[in-house]
Each structure stands twice: as structure tokens, then as C-alpha cells.
Amino acid sequence: MDYTEAKHRIGQLKAILWENSRKYYVENAPTMSDYEYDQLMHELEDLEREYPELATPDSPTRRVGSDLETASEGGFAKYPHRYPMLSLANTYSIEEVEEFAERAAKSLDRPFTWCCELKFDGTAICLTYRNGRLFRALTRGDGVQGDDVTANALRIANIPHRLQGSGYPEEFEIRGEVLMPYESFDRLNHEREVAEEALFANPRNAASGSLKLQDPEEVGRRGLFCTLYHIPTGQVDFPTHDQALQAAESWGLPVSHERRLCGSIQEIEAFIAHWDSARKDLPFATDGIVIKINEMAFQQQLGYTAKSPRWAVAYKFKAEQACTPILSIDYQVGRTGAVTPVANLEPVLLSGTMVKRATLVNEDQIRALDIHEGDWVYVEKGGEIIPKITGVEESRREPGARQPVFPQHCPDCGTPLVREEGEAKWFCPNSKGCPTQLKGRLEHFVSRKAMNILCGEATIEQLFQLNLLRRPSDFYALKAWQLVPLEGWKERAAARFLESVQASLAVPFERVLFAIGIRFVGETTARDVARHFGSMEALAAASKEELLAVPDVGDVIADSIFRFFRDPENLAELEALKAAGLRFSTENPASVADGPLSGKTIVISGNFSISRDEMKALIEQYGGKNSSSVSGKTDYLLAGTKPGPEKIRKAQELGIAIIDEDALHALIGAPAQADASPTLFEPTLF
């Protein structure tokens, strides 16, 4: 690879790694396995070593992934870490573990021991105790600062609010992982499935998403627990890491008991071999072993790189694998028209969950794997994400088994499929008439990361069949009188649905751009493009060259955006959405000057029939201003179920009116709220 090729590849790798880092840490929706991510990271490291002049300070090889959220996304306060929260160097090779141990021995040139621990597959947390009480809990963030999730950490059952015993420092940090056990994960995903919400891919994602909830009571219901494994050097006066953890345990802190002191590489390898098998019996997810130099003085001597300590390494287990037969193959049409083969499997247990289906990606993948009907296949959950078929056990193939025939026509509308040059997937070109594509775009439009409208798949199916929904702008034309007579709808359900439609008008332009579903434009690209052009009008008028000026927008994305805005039907739909009141620019519109809540400051507390973010958007939609704390400037405390007692007490002391959700609807004059007593038909709507 020459200099020009290396420069291009490094740019590609940086973009891929940062995008997947965001999906992993912030969105909790990873799109590649840990192994795939780590291999790309190692490729980037190798290229930067070969071409050091191309290495930059913002490279993923030098900065940890960030779980920080903006105020608009999560609303968490941010505080600096007293000591940076770095990541660990990792390997999948025992030989590289041996090389790491040899380097450490050569650098230190004196006897030392190793402390080997389980590598927990959760989300990192840093707890600060001051005078024996939990003072602050921060996420890893970007390694330098983290989101303050103290209120949520206090709802995790095994995190002590107050330390026990004696001998702990006046103030110190201790770090570890927040985990979700398999049992809690299965329960949560079952609840989400019933509610027609997107399922979490794995327990790590579920733990991370739960820790970032705005409702601490819901956090407490999620069944999380914490395990702690590191007190940064210099805060406690113990000669070894293991002794520091023993002290932490005596103070009532939840440290891992599954650790072992080792004196040789042979003992380390025995510990790895044991847990590579025994981990399958644990009630929570682990993905490797962390190997640390035990002596604190030697840790300080070896120090750190920009991204990780030199005195520790993580050995990561290979993805868990199982062999099971294919029962049948479905061909699913996505919202962009891509047809994806999915194998229905004899259920098999992998990484604590029962796997019944696995993607076959595309026709080329089926051919590459040489899959035949009824084959026994090897299934992996690389990084415990979406199951993938990685191989075939040909010795178990039935005589005369045939290769599956990829459909030539759309499984839904019957239109002949096309495969564009350079594309791996077959597509249904009937984007304006294929029912599955139309419904898929509607589902994407209402999703939480897009317009966040309370409308599940079953509701879209019902309204689509009744011809009430065909395109996104149809949501803004729906009326209560059309919905209430339908099966499964009540007045209260219709009111909640229409309130969420109204609240979506406050969604910022970048999410509107994501919601309209331009092919290849994901959430991050939509944000970058929206901020670059500032308005839908400017974007629609942009040339391909102007689109390519946006960072990380290449030819494929630029062509897709350019074609989208040259389609008359797309332009007509955008006009309809604009007329409905959606935000088509990054400028923040002025508050509704003559709204019924104009000039009113409202603090919300507790749970409501819609999410807290939607409730805040509703208040702003009618001219009100949201505040996080009760003060003399507060006009109303809006109290839902389980409101914060401190806010209630303060509002009463200050003589501030405390209202409930029904009273708010009376204030804004929402006609659909006249009768709030009918019950919801839960399976249909939510």
C-alpha cells in the first residue's frame, strides 16, 4: 500500500470506527461485532505505525469512545474525572498475552505478580465517595469528563449509599461496570416486544441504555447491578491492587470475587482456559479476562499511553458458537427496498439468550457459505450482537439437498428485483407502491430517534389497511373522530397518539432530515448535513459538489441525497410536511407568543402517559418554558405518578400550584382530553 492508498484507507477506518463507536456508546445499537471493530482498530494502528505522519491526535487509536450526550439528548450534567478513564488494550491471541507479559517482565526486571479478573460486558461507571457517602456517579464519557448519573446509580440495589466499617479515605474514586443479568434482560425485552418497541441487542446495550434513563424509578426497576474493580493509584495506600479491592469489599463495596493472583504466564493461561468454559454458567455477560500487574508501584512505573495503561491487557474470548439446523429461509423487504434473507433456525442457546433467527446478509453470502436447504450451520453472536451464520457442517447435509433460490420478484408486491452495479443486495424498485416499503418508511418516521410519535407497527398496519396512512404527512391530518371508532381505540388512546403527533412538531431539523428516510442517510449523517446546510431549502438546492463538502459524505451518499431532492413526489411530500409545521431549519423558532402557556415556567416530576421528553415538547409547543428545579419563578409543578417528594415539598412551601396531567390538558384546551377515563387498548397502540 503506497502513501496515497494508506491516507485514503486511514480516512475510511477513522470514519467507520468513530461511527460505530457512537452507535456502541451513545445509541446502544451497535452494527458490528466487537471482533470486527477490534480488527479494524488493529488495521488502523498498523497503518499509523507504518505512516506516522498520517497519525492525528483525534484518531480512534488515541482517544477512547465517548458515551457523552448533549443536553438535548439526555440532559445530564457533565463533570471532569479526577483521573482519566482510559480503555484497555485488547487481544484475542494467547501469544500476544505472552508477549505482553514478557515486555512487562523485561521493563520491570524484578519479581512481581499478576491479578487476573473477569472482563465484565456492561457499561463503565465511576463512583466518588465523600465522607463515606456516595457523592457522584459518572459514566466514562469521553474519558476526560462523564455524564452525571448519580440519581440513577442510587437506584441500583448493590451500590451502597453509605460505606460501612472504617479506614476509607475522606474522598476517593472507585470504578467498575454496571451490568444487566440475563434474567432481567429477557424480562425487559419481553416487555418491549409486547409494547412494540425496538429490542435491545444484548445485555450491555440494555444496561447502558437503562443507566441513561431520565426516570430513576424506572432505572431501579430494570434489575441492574454493579461490580467494582479499580481504585486509581494514589488515592489509597495499599501495596497491591488485590489488597485495595479487599479493603473496598470491607467497606461494603461490591467487588468481584472471581479473581486470582498469578505468578506465571502458565497460571494466567489456566485462568483464561477455565473461564472460557465456566463463563457460560454465569448469570451475566462476560467477554474476556483482564490481566493486571498487581503491585501498585509497578503500575505507576509503567504508566500509560494516550489511551490505555501499559500495566494491563484484556484477553477477549472468541465469539460463542453453536451448530443448529436451518428450518426455512424468509426474504424480508426493508424500507429502502433491500431484500434480506433470514434463516429460521432450530432454537439454540447462545450467550444467555435463545437464538431462533439469523441474517444471511445477501445472496452472495449464501453462495459464499454454500448453504443448502436444511443444512446444519454454525451460528455466532460476535460481541453478543445480532446472530450471524459463519459456516456449514457439510457432514450433516442431507443427500440431494438443494441450494435456496433467491427470489426474482419482490416477496411483497411482485415487482422484478434489481441489483445495481456495485451493490451486494437485490432491491425492489417499486419504492412508491410496495406496501412493505411504505410501511417501513412510516415506522422509521415515527421511531424514537426520528419523530418519536407513539405509534407501533400494529397501529401503522391498521391505519395503512384502512387507507388512513400512506405517507408521513398523513399523520398530521389524522383526527380523533377518525380513530375512536376503530377497533382497539378509545378516546384516551386517540388523545395520547395525537398529542405525540403534535409534540413531534418540536423535533429539531436534523431529526426531521433523518426521519424522511433518504437512502444511506443515517442519524449521524443527517445531523452533519443539517448543520452544514442549515435548512431543507438550502439542502434541496445543493449540487453534488456542495454535498461532497460535508465531512464524511462520499459519492454514494451525495448521489442519494441529490436524487432524492430531484424527485417530484418527494418534493410534494416535503411541502406537505412543511405545511404541517415540521422544522425545516436549524434556527430555533420563537416560543408561541399567544399560546395558553405563554410566559409560564413549569417543572415536571414523575411519570406520565407520554415520555418526559414528549411532555416537555408539549409544554413548549403551547408556549411554556421547562425548568428542572422548583423556585420562586416556577408557575406550576406538573406532577405525574411517583413525583419527587423534595419537589412537592418545595412547591408547597413556596405556594406554587401543583397540577396533574389532566389539569395541564385543561390549561392548553386540548379537546381530545375531555374524557380521560376510558382505558387504552394497549396491544394495538403501545
Residue 491 predicted with pLDDT over 80: yes
Per-residue pLDDT averaged across 386-395, rounded?
88
| Number of alpha helices (DSSP H) and beta strands (DSSP E) in the chain | 25, 21
Helix axis angle for 34-50 and 3-25, nearest 10°, is: 150
Same fold, 78-316 and 454-503+588-686: no
Is residue 351 very low, low, confident or very high in pLDDT (cuts 50, 70, 90)? low
Give the C-alpha separation, 239 to 348, whole Å: 47
- Give all strands of the β-sheet with 259-262 in edge-to-edge order: 90-91, 312-316, 286-293, 114-120, 259-262
What pLDDT sits at residue 28? 54
Distance of CA 554 to the CA centre of its chain: 25
User: Do 584 and 536 form a contact (C-beta atoms < 8 A)?
Assistant: yes
Per-residue pLDDT averaged across 89-108, rounded?
92
Ranked by mean pLDDT, which of 447-451, 540-544, 675-679 comes out on top? Answer: 540-544
Concatenate the DSSP letters of all residues of 294-358 into one string.
-BHHHHHHH-B-SSSBTTEEEEEPPPPEEEEEEEEEEEEE-TTSEEEEEEEEEEEEETTEEEEEE
Percent of the chain topping pLDDT 70:
90
Residue 110 predicted with pLDDT over 50: yes
Residue 399 predicted with pLDDT over 60: yes
More confidently predicted of 343 and 193: 343
The secondary element (H helix, E strand) that includes residue 288 is strand 286-293
Is residue 55 very low, low, confident or very high in pLDDT (cuts 50, 70, 90)? confident
Give the C-alpha separation, 678 to 490, whole Å: 6
What pLDDT sits at residue 73? 41
Mean pLDDT of the chain: 86
Give the C-alpha separation, 272 to 94, whole Å: 9
Concatenate the DSSP letters of all residues of 210-237 into one string.
HHT-S-HHHHHHTT-EEEEEE--TTSS-
Give the C-alpha separation, 13 to 19, whole Å: 10
Domain extents in the chain:
3-54, 78-316, 321-396, 454-503+588-686, 509-585
Per-residue pLDDT averaged across 26-43, rounded?
72
Per-residue pLDDT averaged across 96-118, rounded?
94
Rounded-to-5 percentages of helix, strand, coil across the chain: 40, 20, 40
Count of positions (residues) in the chain: 686
Give the C-alpha separation, 669 to 514, whole Å: 32
User: Do 224 and 216 form a contact (C-beta atoms < 8 A)?
Assistant: no
For the chain, first and last CA: distance in Å? 53
Secondary structure of residue 639 in the 3-state scheme: strand
Mean pLDDT check: name the lowest of 297-301, 349-353, 614-618: 349-353
Residue 514 predicted with pLDDT over 90: yes
The torsion angle over the Cα atoms of residues 528, 534, 538 and 543, rounded to 10 degrees, is -30
pLDDT digit string (tens) for 534-555? Answer: 999 999 999 999 999 987 788 8
Residue 141 predicted with pLDDT over 90: no
Catalytic positions: 119
pLDDT digit string (tens) for 401-424? Answer: 999 999 999 999 999 999 987 778
Give the C-alpha separation, 83 to 143, whole Å: 9
Half-sphere exposure of 478 (CA within 13 A, CB side): 31
Q: Which fold, 454-503+588-686?
A: Rossmann fold (3.40.50)
Residue 159 predicted with pLDDT over 60: yes
Mean pLDDT check: name the lowest of 19-28, 264-273, 355-364, 626-635: 19-28
Per-residue pLDDT averaged across 156-183, rounded?
93
Long-range contacts of 129-136 (CB under 8 A, 24+ apart): 129/163, 129/168, 129/171, 129/172, 129/174, 130/170, 130/171, 131/170, 131/171, 132/162, 132/163, 132/168, 133/161, 133/162, 133/163, 134/159, 134/160, 134/161, 134/162, 135/171, 136/79
Residue 26 predicted with pLDDT over 70: no
Residue 242 grid cell: 488485590
Is residue 472 very low, low, confident or very high in pLDDT (cuts 50, 70, 90)? very high
User: Do 259 and 200 form a contact (C-beta atoms < 8 A)?
Assistant: no
Mean pLDDT check: name the lowest of 17-26, 219-228, 451-460: 17-26
Give the C-alpha separation, 397 to 382, whole Å: 25
User: Do 508 and 586 form a contact (C-beta atoms < 8 A)?
Assistant: yes
Task: Tell which residue, 627, 622, 623, has the closest CA to residue 604.
Answer: 627
Structurally, what CATH architecture does the domain formed by 509-585 represent? Orthogonal Bundle (1.10)
What pLDDT sits at residue 222? 92
Residue 128 predicted with pLDDT over 80: yes
Amino acid making up residue 56? T
Is residue 161 very low, low, confident or very high in pLDDT (cuts 50, 70, 90)? very high
Per-residue pLDDT averaged across 171-199, rounded?
83
Per-residue pLDDT averaged across 109-123, rounded?
94
- In CATH terms, the superfamily for domain 78-316 is DNA ligase/mRNA capping enzyme (3.30.470.30)
Residue 32 grid cell: 458490528
Residue 125 predicted with pLDDT over 60: yes
What pLDDT sits at residue 487? 93
**pTM confidence score:** 0.53
- In CATH terms, the superfamily for domain 3-54 is Helix hairpin bin (1.10.287.610)
User: Do 296 and 241 form a contact (C-beta atoms < 8 A)?
Assistant: yes
Question: Biggest alpha carbon distance in the chain?
Answer: 82
Residue 679 predicted with pLDDT over 50: no
pLDDT digit string (tens) for 291-340? Answer: 999 999 999 999 988 778 999 999 998 877 889 999 999 999 988 899 99
Task: Tell which residue, 179, 212, 210, 381, has the closest CA to residue 286.
Answer: 179
Residue 252 predicted with pLDDT over 50: yes
Residue 497 predicted with pLDDT over 60: yes
Amino acid making up residue 73? E
CATH code 2.40.50.140 for 321-396:
yes
Is residue 66 very low, low, confident or very high in pLDDT (cuts 50, 70, 90)? low
What pLDDT sits at residue 77? 85
CB atoms near residue 521 (< 10 Å): 20
Per DSSP, 375 falls in state: -
Contacts of 182 (CB under 8 A, 6+ apart): 203, 283, 284, 285, 352, 353
Helix axis angle for 182-194 and 203-211, nearest 10°, is: 80
Backbone angles phi, psi at 160, to 5 degrees: -70, 135
Distance of CA 126 to the CA centre of its chain: 20
Per-residue pLDDT averaged across 262-288, rounded?
91
